[in-house]
Structure 1
Amino acid sequence: MSDTRAFQVDLHGVVDLLARHLYSGERVYLRELMQNGVDAITARRGLDPEAPSTVRIRPLPGGALAVTDSGVGLTAAEAEELLATVGRSSKRDVDLGLARQEYLGQFGIGLLSAFMVADRIELTSRSARDPRAPAVRWTGHADGSYQLVELDPTASAAVPVGSTVLLRPRRDAEHWLEVGTVVALAEEFGSLLPVELSVEVPLDESAPAGDPGRPDAPEPRPGHLWRRISERDLPWRVEHPDDGRRTAELTRYCERALGFTPLAAIDLDVPLAGVSGVAYVLPSAVPPGGSGAHRVYLKRMLLGTRVDGLLPEWAFFVRCVIDASGLRPTASREQLYTDEVLLATQEALADGIRSWLLRTLESGSGQAAQFVRTHHLAVRSLALTDDTMLDLAARILPYETTDGMLTLDEVAAQHGTVVYAATLEEYKRIAPVARAQGMAVVNAGYVYDSDLLERLARRRPGTVRPLAAGDIAQVLSPVPPERELATWDAVAAGNAVLADQDCELVLRTFEPAELPAVLLHDRDGDHQRALRRTQEEADDLWGDVLSGFAEPVAARHLVLNDAAPVVRDLLAAPRGEVFDAGLRSLYVSALLLAGEPLRARESELMTGSMAALLRAGLAGTTRPTTDDDAEEDHR
């Protein structure tokens, strides 16, 4: 037969696990102690609604730290049940009435986290449930041992109802219990707590004393004062005499909490999830997909300053500060647990921000204009999935066009059809010709624009379409028949020169005359050329696979401008090295004008053409004769 034995828990190992894998670091120890104090106060107020609600933090000489709350306190039996065994917090909290929804955490595991900074934890407590019970003192050590004693009547009488946790720092953790660090952590985690949270600080502290607290607050030590950390109300719940004052106060809070002056503040409210707060519009543009981290409080205790996933990706222009009572934290209590309530909350918050955005943009106000200048990418991003925003974007967003900066609705009103170039290279290639011919083309080569125009084309069939090669071809005037006949041989020779470039030579007349050539091609042809290059570079097996997708490739067209003097001179030149080099130079110039990168083949083509033209230009020159040359000839 075998006997049943209990696991032996290595407390050092458990604390290391907490510090390295559950919590973000030692800094959360004070959050856990404050959280325990708030929960104890909540429990006491269930017995006595008029009971005081205070948490006081006192750094002591020698590096110790005392955290005192006016909560429900513990009897000896309750302390034994709560603190004797690691890992049974949930059941014990239920048994002791500490696990209802209004509580922040679990007392046992929260107290254990203090071992991340202390070798010894001393808890002195007196119960509000049983005023006749003696006060108790529990002392826990990092080696896993503890002592629990009941104080004698005289000592018990001196202990107020509530609990005091006294920490003795580890040798390598003294800085976590220093006054400056404690004040900073208390402000970060507890500034919105629904209790009076105060820290005892030296009189020479540069920070203001703030609210002195309750009249019955204990006297500070000589040379010290109590500095109140917590605010009485949530900043967005405070009543103000008018909207202007409220906006100014919310702006000041954003500057303190988030570090920037917002363009606007958007109220957020999801009553079913107990969520309220403010979304602040950033004052400067941020890249799409940038951090959407937000400041989240859970029952007014800070959950985290960089909580992800609260809003959809298109809302990257705001940073939120919210407080929630109906959302669940993860085990570390530093992120939100994804469940149906969180998903519904995300949708409700997104709807609130979307409604504000639509309302603001439709108003045509100065704020709307400033928002569009700063956060036009957010409007474009939302328009990709929202039909209402898509129509609004077509009405208000300015686009670069060959007619200047216009909205899409303005282009449609002036030209009947919105024609857009899907890439920046395509727009650069045709812009000079289109502009000279009075043809309006929209540049859709920037972030989101091509997809947005494509979606608008599906929503407005026949009035929005991508640029086609024929759009430019139709504004290029054919040359007179006699000129076409006179240049027939030159064009044929040019086609032979450019045959290895997948390029066909065409002679037309167009404005501006200073532009000697443009390169025209379509997307399908580009795709097939890229596929063929990949096929040529791939191994036999992969090349055979790609060959199944290959189709006949439509040649690109290098359109020479017969109105350009350099083109007329070239076509009149005799066939040979200079003619070939000049034509290849025009081809490379057209490539650069289109914004295309030069591959190795085009770079070699440009270098060879320049060398040929340079040799031709130097062939007929002679060096001037000098006196030294004449003397040499005489010799």
Structure 2
Amino acid sequence: MTLSRHAGRVDAGFSPRIDVTPSERNEPMIVRDNGIGLGPDEMRTFLATIGGSSKRDDFAVARRGFLGQFGIGLLSCFLVADTLEVRSKSAKTKDAPTTLWVGHADGTFTVSDSDYALDGPGTEVKIMPRHGDLEWCNEETLRKLAGDFAELLDVAVRVKGDLMSMNTPPWDRSIEEQLAWCRERLGFEAMGIVPLDSSLLNVRGLGFVLPYTAAPGHRTGDRIYSNGMLVADSVDQLIPEWAFFCRAVIDAGELPLTASRESLQETNSLGLVRERLGNRLLGELIKVHGLHQNVYQDILRLHATGLRALAVKGADIRDLMGSTLPYETTLGERTIEQLLAIDQPSIPYVADADSFDAIRDVAVHAQVLVVNASGPHETELLQVFNEQHTGRFSEMQRFEISSLARPEPYVDVDRGSRLVRVADETFGPNVVGVEVAHFQPANRPVLWWPAANLKGTRKRLPTLAGPPK
């Protein structure tokens, strides 16, 4: 809420401060700084316009007109008070007077000499909260708000004499302290930490890898500061949407804020910074993969679904996922890169879990590789790689199941025919197709293919192993 501009202070040894006195026993809340202050003409020029827009309906106008100057912080006082007093004394002129501006929520105001003089240059704001809004100006609330919003400011902010600001930013702390900060402020034990520095516009921060599975495209949002002042706790503008596996704390440096000061303006600079931070995250994944395989595998296991979704949409990370994300197959786990290296024209896959369970042991005994692509985004990712590698992956069809089993004709034709006839009579025509044959493993009584894979029918195709009884 301060109206002062520290950059204009005359003396080189100036040490800025802001002192906040909570409202108690019907006394006003007071905010006092020792900045450059305002002279009488400046008070009339700036605060008269704010006073004329002090009605709540005019907030948008005031925000546009005074963004980055004095307007929005002062104007917000009228959300909790009907009357506002501002006293200011300029540091530019020796023996400058103290000027008083009194504004009211109905839009009226006065500018006059103050009834008492400030003891030095700076500005004092007095807020008399309405009865229903006292909680916003009491000590408990002010300590919490100052602790949240001002903790990283390099200006001394005190509430009843206690320093609430000038804390060391998390990115300037030791790794142990960074982990503790994440645990205390964000509420989870990070699996890893990614430094997020951009030489552009003084953006600095940290990305904390989540220890739980996060839904792709649904990021919680990040804790964003602007030159040390907290902007918001759930901003999703600086970290790319695909980085769902981490939550960040970042100082946006010189990136401009919106009028409400609750988010960042969507500018070309913001887009460039977002791209750089995304590249930093991707580079860290590659680095972890090379240097800390156990950590990387933990990340893959926890965030496999989201990483596949990311690889489907994002070319930047697709190659890394293609070489590291494993698929289950009938011959053990394989990455897409390993599958593409197999010397055969087509690599079969099944797209649902029931189908894979139905053929798994038969394919294992036949030493035939079939890919299980039944997990979320697994089929889509194979199709994306198909576009790059001319259809190397193909969904297994009904006719391939019989050849997969490699059946041998059963010698007892009569008994086999009776089994087929009983099945037809029991289930009816075009419901179940039966073929009698030998195949391995011997403990598998039938091989069946789910109806969902038989286009246009409701059939299942069982194949009997061993003699019927």
TM category, shorter:
0.7 to 0.9
What is the 5 A alignment of 1:327-338? 327-338=255-266
Contact 1:402 / 1:435 at 8 angstroms: preserved in 2? yes
SS in 2 for 1:558: coil
The structure richer in helix per residue is: 1
> CA contact under 8 A between 1:292 and 1:309: conserved in structure 2?
no
Q: Does the C-alpha gap of structure 1 residues 463 and 484 become closer, same or farther in structure 2, counting only changes over 3 Å? A: farther
Deviation at 1:181, TM superposition (A): 0.7
Asked whether the equivalents of residues 351 and 372 of structure 2 are also in contact (C-alpha less than 8 Å), the reply is: yes
Partner of 1:561: 464
1:49 & 1:464 partners in 2: Cα distance? 71
1:81 aligns with 2:45: yes
Unaligned runs of 5+ in 1: 1-32, 90-98, 201-225, 239-245, 530-552, 570-635
Return closer, same or farther for 1:42/1:271 CA change in 2, 3 Å cut-off: farther
Distance between the aligned counterparts of 2:340 and 2:451, measured in 1?
A: 23
1:250-304 CA-partner distances (Å, limit 9, x unpaired): 2233233322232222111222233111111112222223334011112221111
Distance 2:178 2:393 in 1: 43
- 1:227 & 1:327 partners in 2: Cα distance? 31
Deviations 1:10-36 (A, max 9, x none): xxxxxxxxxxxxxxxxxxxxxxx1xx3
Corresponding residue number in structure 1 for 2:60: none
Q: How big is the shift at 1:198?
A: 1.3
Match of 2:372 in 1: 443
Deviation at 1:171, TM superposition (A): 0.7
Structure 2 counterpart of 1:262, from 149, 174, 190: 190
Work out which of the residue numbers 291, 300, 306 in structure 1 matches 2:228. 300
Corresponding letter in the other structure for 1:559: P
Q: Is the 8 A contact 2:347 2:392 kept in 1?
A: yes
Q: Secondary structure at the match of 2:433?
A: strand
Q: How far is 1:413 from its partner? A: 7.2
1:281 corresponds to: 209
Q: Does residue 455 in structure 1 map to residue 419 in structure 2? A: no
Residue 88 of structure 2 corresponds to residue 185 of structure 1:
no
The structure-2 alpha-carbon separation of the partners of 1:196 and 1:380, relative to structure 1 and needing over 3 Å to count, comes to same
Which of these residues, 162, 175, 179, is aligned with residue 247 of structure 1?
A: 175
Structure 2 counterpart of 1:456, one-letter code: F
Q: How many corresponding residue pairs?
A: 456
- Report the counterpart of residue 27 of structure 1 in structure 2: none
Q: 1:312 to 1:503 in 2, by over 3 A?
A: farther
Instruction: Give 1:373's match in structure 2, choosing from 295, 301, 313.
Output: 301
Could you tell me how far apart the structure 2 residues matched to 1:109 and 1:407 are? 55
The separation in 2 between residues aligned to 1:309 and 1:523, in whole angstroms, is 42
Per the alignment, residue 309 of structure 1 pairs with 237
In structure 1, the partner of 2:24 is 61
**Residue by residue, what CA displacement relative to the aligned partner does 1:167-202 show, whole Å, maximum 9, x if unpaired?**
1110101111111110101111111112111111xx
User: Residue 141 of structure 1: which of 84, 90, 104 is its match?
Assistant: 104
Matches for 1:197-596 after TM superposition, within 5 Å: 197-200=157-160, 226-231=161-166, 233-237=168-172, 246-385=174-313, 389-408=317-336, 418-461=347-390, 464-480=393-409, 482-484=411-413, 487-488=416-417, 491=420, 494-495=423-424, 498=427, 501=430, 503-520=432-449, 525-526=454-455, 529=456, 556-563=459-466, 568-569=468-469
| Inter-partner Cα distance in structure 1 for 2:198 and 2:341 | 42
1: CA distance, partners of 2:37 / 2:407: 96
1:492, CA displacement in angstroms?
A: 5.5
Q: Deviations over 1:332-360 (max 9, x none)?
A: 21122222222222111111111111111
Select which of 105, 120, 125 maps to 1:160. Answer: 120
Q: Give the conservation status (yes or no) of the 8 Å contact 2:451–2:460.
A: no
CA distance in 1, matches of 2:317, 2:207: 20
Do the aligned partners of 1:57 and 1:68 also contact (CA within 8 Å) in 2? yes
Question: 1:123 and 1:348, CA in 2 relative to 1: closer, same or farther beyond 3 A?
Answer: same
Task: Return the letter of the residue paired with 1:334.
Answer: E
Q: TM-score, normalised by structure 2?
A: 0.86
Cα distance between partner residues in 2 of 1:162 and 1:360: 51
Amino acid at match of 2:222: H
Q: Who is 1:618 aligned against?
A: none
What letter is aligned with 1:74?
L
Give how far 1:446 is off.
1.1
Offset, 1:378 = 4.1
3-state secondary structure, aligned to 1:139: strand
Q: Secondary structure at the match of 1:474?
A: helix
Distance in 1, Cα, partners of 2:158 & 2:42: 27
Superposition CA RMSD, Å: 3.1
Deviates more, 1:366-375 or 1:458-467: 458-467
- Tell me what 1:112 maps to: 75
- Alpha-carbon displacement from aligned partner over 1:192-219 (angstroms, at most 9, x marks no partner): 112111111xxxxxxxxxxxxxxxxxxx
Shift of 1:233: 4.9
CA–CA distance in structure 1, aligned partners of residues 51 and 309 of structure 2: 47
Say if 2:134 is the partner of 1:170: no
**Identical-residue share of aligned pairs (%):** 31
Please give the alpha-carbon distance, in whole angstroms, between the structure 1 residues aligned to 2:71 and 2:264.
22
Contact 2:6-2:35 at 8 Å conserved across structures: yes
| SS of equivalent residue, structure 1 residue 165 | strand
Whole-Å separation in 1 of the counterparts to 2:391 and 2:144:
62
Q: Which amino acid aligns with 2:196?
A: L
1:582-627 deviations in whole A, cap 9, x for unaligned? Answer: xxxxxxxxxxxxxxxxxxxxxxxxxxxxxxxxxxxxxxxxxxxxxx
C-alpha deviation, 1:66, in angstroms: 0.9
Question: Matched residues in 1 for 2:447 and 2:334: separation?
Answer: 25
Alpha-carbon distance in 2 for matches of 1:384, 1:391: 11
CA deviation after TM superposition for structure 1 residue 124, in Å: 1.4
Structure number with higher relative contact order (C-alpha < 8 Å, ≥ 6 residues apart): 2
Kindly indicate whether the alpha-carbon contact (under 8 Å) linking 2:350 and 2:373 is maintained by their aligned counterparts in 1.
yes
Letter in structure 2 aligned against 1:111: L
| 2:159 aligned partner, one-letter code | V
Offset, 1:105: 2.9
Contact 2:155 2:165 in 1 (8 A): yes
Change (3 A) 1:476 1:178: same
Distance in 2 (CA, whole Å) between partners of 1:304 and 1:422 is: 43
* Residues 500 and 128 (structure 1), Cα distance of their counterparts in 2 relative to 1, 3 Å cut: farther
Amino acid at match of 1:112: L
Local SS of the residue matching 1:314: coil
For 1:249 and 1:111, how far apart are their aligned partners in 2? Answer: 36
Give the TM-score normalised by structure 1.
0.65
SS of structure 1 residue aligned to 2:295: helix
Query: Paired residue for 1:574?
Result: none
Match of 1:130 among 87, 93, 113: 93
Structure 2 match to 1:218: none
Q: Distance in 1 between matches of 2:411 and 2:297?
A: 56
| Aligned counterparts of 2:51 and 2:394: Cα–Cα separation in 1 | 65
Q: Which residue number in structure 2 is paired with residue 196 of structure 1?
A: 156
Offset of residue 475 of structure 1: 3.1
Match of 1:209 in 2: none
